[in-house]
Homo-oligomer: A and B are copies of this chain.
Amino acid sequence: MPTAASEKTVGRLTIYRRLLDELVSAGTENVYSHELATMSGCTAAQVRRDLMAVGYSGTPTRGYNVRDLLDSIGKFLDDPAGQQVALVGVGNLGRAILAYFAGRRPKLRIVAAFDNDPYKVGRVIHGCRCYGTGEMPDVIREQAISVGIITVPATAAQTVADQLVRAGIRGILNFAPATLRVPPNVSLEHNDITMYLEKVSYFARQGNRREKKERQGD
Protein backbone atom coordinates (compact mmCIF):
# COMPACT_ATOMS: atom_id res chain seq x y z
CA MET A 1 0.00 0.00 0.00
CA PRO A 2 1.61 3.24 -1.18
CA THR A 3 2.01 6.32 0.94
CA ALA A 4 -0.56 9.09 1.29
CA ALA A 5 -1.64 10.79 -1.93
CA SER A 6 -2.59 14.43 -2.38
CA GLU A 7 -6.11 15.53 -1.66
CA LYS A 8 -6.74 16.20 -5.33
CA THR A 9 -5.51 12.78 -6.39
CA VAL A 10 -7.74 11.05 -3.84
CA GLY A 11 -10.71 13.05 -5.07
CA ARG A 12 -10.07 12.10 -8.68
CA LEU A 13 -9.59 8.46 -7.78
CA THR A 14 -13.13 8.38 -6.42
CA ILE A 15 -14.33 9.69 -9.78
CA TYR A 16 -12.36 7.09 -11.73
CA ARG A 17 -13.79 4.39 -9.49
CA ARG A 18 -17.35 5.39 -10.28
CA LEU A 19 -16.60 5.42 -14.00
CA LEU A 20 -14.81 2.07 -13.84
CA ASP A 21 -17.80 0.58 -12.04
CA GLU A 22 -19.91 1.63 -15.01
CA LEU A 23 -17.39 0.18 -17.45
CA VAL A 24 -17.47 -3.16 -15.64
CA SER A 25 -21.25 -3.17 -15.88
CA ALA A 26 -20.96 -2.44 -19.58
CA GLY A 27 -18.54 -5.34 -20.00
CA THR A 28 -15.58 -3.19 -21.07
CA GLU A 29 -12.26 -4.95 -20.42
CA ASN A 30 -9.62 -2.34 -21.11
CA VAL A 31 -9.50 1.44 -21.05
CA TYR A 32 -6.95 4.05 -22.13
CA SER A 33 -5.98 7.08 -20.08
CA HIS A 34 -7.46 9.43 -22.64
CA GLU A 35 -10.78 7.57 -22.47
CA LEU A 36 -10.90 7.91 -18.70
CA ALA A 37 -9.90 11.54 -19.20
CA THR A 38 -12.83 12.43 -21.44
CA MET A 39 -15.21 10.53 -19.18
CA SER A 40 -13.99 12.19 -15.99
CA GLY A 41 -13.20 15.68 -17.22
CA CYS A 42 -9.58 15.31 -16.14
CA THR A 43 -6.57 15.28 -18.44
CA ALA A 44 -4.94 12.08 -19.65
CA ALA A 45 -1.72 13.09 -17.91
CA GLN A 46 -3.58 13.48 -14.62
CA VAL A 47 -5.17 10.07 -15.04
CA ARG A 48 -1.83 8.39 -15.70
CA ARG A 49 -0.16 10.13 -12.78
CA ASP A 50 -3.02 9.28 -10.41
CA LEU A 51 -3.01 5.63 -11.44
CA MET A 52 0.74 5.50 -10.88
CA ALA A 53 0.04 6.81 -7.38
CA VAL A 54 -2.07 3.76 -6.60
CA GLY A 55 0.71 1.56 -7.94
CA TYR A 56 -1.09 0.24 -10.99
CA SER A 57 0.58 0.05 -14.41
CA GLY A 58 -0.92 -0.13 -17.85
CA THR A 59 0.49 -1.38 -21.12
CA PRO A 60 0.98 0.75 -24.24
CA THR A 61 -1.09 -1.56 -26.41
CA ARG A 62 -4.09 -2.20 -24.18
CA GLY A 63 -4.14 0.62 -21.69
CA TYR A 64 -5.48 -0.44 -18.30
CA ASN A 65 -7.43 -3.54 -17.39
CA VAL A 66 -10.69 -2.28 -15.93
CA ARG A 67 -11.19 -4.97 -13.30
CA ASP A 68 -7.61 -5.04 -12.09
CA LEU A 69 -7.47 -1.26 -11.95
CA LEU A 70 -10.69 -1.13 -9.96
CA ASP A 71 -9.16 -3.63 -7.59
CA SER A 72 -6.01 -1.54 -7.16
CA ILE A 73 -7.96 1.67 -6.53
CA GLY A 74 -10.08 -0.18 -3.98
CA LYS A 75 -6.98 -1.44 -2.20
CA PHE A 76 -5.67 2.11 -2.16
CA LEU A 77 -8.80 4.00 -1.08
CA ASP A 78 -10.44 1.45 1.19
CA ASP A 79 -9.44 0.22 4.58
CA PRO A 80 -8.79 -3.52 4.10
CA ALA A 81 -10.63 -4.19 7.37
CA GLY A 82 -13.49 -1.87 6.42
CA GLN A 83 -14.54 1.40 8.04
CA GLN A 84 -17.74 2.08 9.91
CA VAL A 85 -19.55 5.40 9.61
CA ALA A 86 -22.11 7.12 11.83
CA LEU A 87 -24.58 9.79 10.75
CA VAL A 88 -25.91 12.37 13.19
CA GLY A 89 -29.15 14.16 12.32
CA VAL A 90 -31.82 12.17 10.50
CA GLY A 91 -33.58 15.00 8.66
CA ASN A 92 -34.21 15.19 4.93
CA LEU A 93 -30.52 15.43 4.15
CA GLY A 94 -29.58 12.66 6.55
CA ARG A 95 -32.19 10.34 5.06
CA ALA A 96 -31.01 11.16 1.54
CA ILE A 97 -27.48 10.16 2.46
CA LEU A 98 -28.60 6.98 4.22
CA ALA A 99 -30.63 6.00 1.17
CA TYR A 100 -27.80 6.72 -1.19
CA PHE A 101 -25.11 4.75 0.64
CA ALA A 102 -27.29 1.79 1.62
CA GLY A 103 -25.41 -1.30 0.46
CA ARG A 104 -23.16 0.64 -1.91
CA ARG A 105 -19.66 0.22 -0.48
CA PRO A 106 -19.06 -2.92 1.58
CA LYS A 107 -15.83 -1.40 2.93
CA LEU A 108 -17.43 1.87 3.99
CA ARG A 109 -20.81 1.39 5.62
CA ILE A 110 -23.05 3.73 7.57
CA VAL A 111 -23.86 1.44 10.47
CA ALA A 112 -25.55 3.84 12.89
CA ALA A 113 -27.68 6.98 12.80
CA PHE A 114 -28.38 9.30 15.71
CA ASP A 115 -31.24 11.70 16.35
CA ASN A 116 -33.03 13.38 19.22
CA ASP A 117 -36.51 12.72 17.85
CA PRO A 118 -38.03 9.87 19.95
CA TYR A 119 -40.16 8.91 16.96
CA LYS A 120 -37.04 8.09 14.96
CA VAL A 121 -35.04 6.41 17.73
CA GLY A 122 -35.27 2.65 17.58
CA ARG A 123 -36.42 2.57 13.99
CA VAL A 124 -34.44 1.28 11.02
CA ILE A 125 -34.14 3.88 8.27
CA HIS A 126 -32.86 2.74 4.88
CA GLY A 127 -31.29 -0.24 6.55
CA CYS A 128 -29.59 1.80 9.25
CA ARG A 129 -30.57 1.67 12.91
CA CYS A 130 -31.37 4.99 14.60
CA TYR A 131 -30.18 5.61 18.16
CA GLY A 132 -30.68 8.43 20.63
CA THR A 133 -27.84 10.94 20.77
CA GLY A 134 -27.11 9.91 24.34
CA GLU A 135 -26.05 6.51 23.06
CA MET A 136 -23.33 7.96 20.82
CA PRO A 137 -20.29 7.14 22.98
CA ASP A 138 -21.31 3.53 23.55
CA VAL A 139 -22.45 2.75 20.02
CA ILE A 140 -19.41 4.37 18.42
CA ARG A 141 -17.01 2.41 20.60
CA GLU A 142 -18.86 -0.88 20.35
CA GLN A 143 -19.13 -0.75 16.57
CA ALA A 144 -15.63 0.69 16.07
CA ILE A 145 -16.99 3.63 14.10
CA SER A 146 -14.21 5.87 12.79
CA VAL A 147 -16.03 8.44 10.64
CA GLY A 148 -18.96 10.73 11.45
CA ILE A 149 -21.34 12.59 9.16
CA ILE A 150 -22.97 15.72 10.60
CA THR A 151 -26.37 16.63 9.17
CA VAL A 152 -27.77 18.61 12.08
CA PRO A 153 -28.64 22.35 12.09
CA ALA A 154 -25.71 24.77 12.25
CA THR A 155 -26.39 25.68 15.88
CA ALA A 156 -25.82 22.10 17.02
CA ALA A 157 -22.94 21.21 14.71
CA GLN A 158 -19.98 22.08 16.95
CA THR A 159 -21.53 20.29 19.94
CA VAL A 160 -22.05 17.17 17.86
CA ALA A 161 -18.50 17.41 16.48
CA ASP A 162 -17.13 17.58 20.02
CA GLN A 163 -19.18 14.54 21.03
CA LEU A 164 -17.93 12.59 18.02
CA VAL A 165 -14.32 13.49 18.72
CA ARG A 166 -14.66 12.54 22.38
CA ALA A 167 -16.12 9.20 21.33
CA GLY A 168 -12.96 8.51 19.34
CA ILE A 169 -13.93 9.36 15.78
CA ARG A 170 -11.04 10.04 13.36
CA GLY A 171 -12.82 11.87 10.55
CA ILE A 172 -15.83 14.17 10.18
CA LEU A 173 -17.86 15.09 7.12
CA ASN A 174 -19.82 18.23 7.95
CA PHE A 175 -22.91 19.34 6.03
CA ALA A 176 -23.98 22.04 8.49
CA PRO A 177 -23.30 25.65 7.48
CA ALA A 178 -20.77 26.20 10.24
CA THR A 179 -17.00 26.20 10.51
CA LEU A 180 -16.03 23.46 12.95
CA ARG A 181 -13.02 23.18 15.22
CA VAL A 182 -11.54 19.72 15.61
CA PRO A 183 -8.17 18.46 16.87
CA PRO A 184 -5.41 18.31 14.25
CA ASN A 185 -5.41 14.52 14.18
CA VAL A 186 -9.06 14.43 13.08
CA SER A 187 -9.73 14.68 9.36
CA LEU A 188 -12.41 17.23 8.49
CA GLU A 189 -14.33 17.89 5.28
CA HIS A 190 -17.00 20.55 4.91
CA ASN A 191 -19.58 20.00 2.20
CA ASP A 192 -20.87 23.55 1.96
CA ILE A 193 -24.00 23.42 -0.21
CA THR A 194 -24.48 27.18 -0.03
CA MET A 195 -20.98 27.68 -1.35
CA TYR A 196 -21.69 25.43 -4.32
CA LEU A 197 -24.86 27.28 -5.24
CA GLU A 198 -23.28 30.70 -4.87
CA LYS A 199 -20.25 29.66 -6.89
CA VAL A 200 -22.21 28.20 -9.76
CA SER A 201 -24.45 31.26 -9.79
CA TYR A 202 -21.50 33.63 -9.80
CA PHE A 203 -19.79 31.88 -12.70
CA ALA A 204 -23.07 31.46 -14.53
CA ARG A 205 -23.25 35.24 -14.57
CA GLN A 206 -19.65 35.60 -15.66
CA GLY A 207 -20.44 33.26 -18.52
CA ASN A 208 -17.09 31.71 -17.76
CA ARG A 209 -15.82 28.71 -19.59
CA ARG A 210 -15.92 26.10 -16.89
CA GLU A 211 -17.11 22.99 -18.62
CA LYS A 212 -16.11 20.30 -16.34
CA LYS A 213 -13.26 20.11 -14.01
CA GLU A 214 -15.86 18.16 -12.11
CA ARG A 215 -14.71 18.97 -8.68
CA GLN A 216 -11.84 16.64 -8.95
CA GLY A 217 -10.23 16.45 -5.61
CA ASP A 218 -9.87 19.32 -3.34
Copies per assembly? 2
Answer whether A77 and B209 are a contact pair too, CB < 8 Å, given A189-B215, A193-B100: no
- Contact between B195 and A15 (Cβ–Cβ < 8 Å)? yes
Answer whether A108 and B197 are a contact pair too, CB < 8 Å, given A211-B182, A212-B188, A215-B192: yes
- The residue that A198 contacts in the complex, of B14, B19, B93, B202, with Cβ under 8 A, is B14
- Kindly state the separation between the CA atoms of A172 and B99 in the bound complex, as whole angstroms: 23
- List residues 174-188 of chain A with CB under 8 A from any CB of chain B: 177, 179, 181-188
Interface size bracket, A side: 35 or more
Can you name 17 A-B pairs with beta carbons within 8 Å? A4-B203, A7-B199, A10-B198, A10-B199, A19-B179, A41-B179, A83-B205, A85-B197, A85-B201, A108-B201, A147-B200, A149-B197, A181-B211, A184-B210, A184-B211, A185-B207, A187-B206
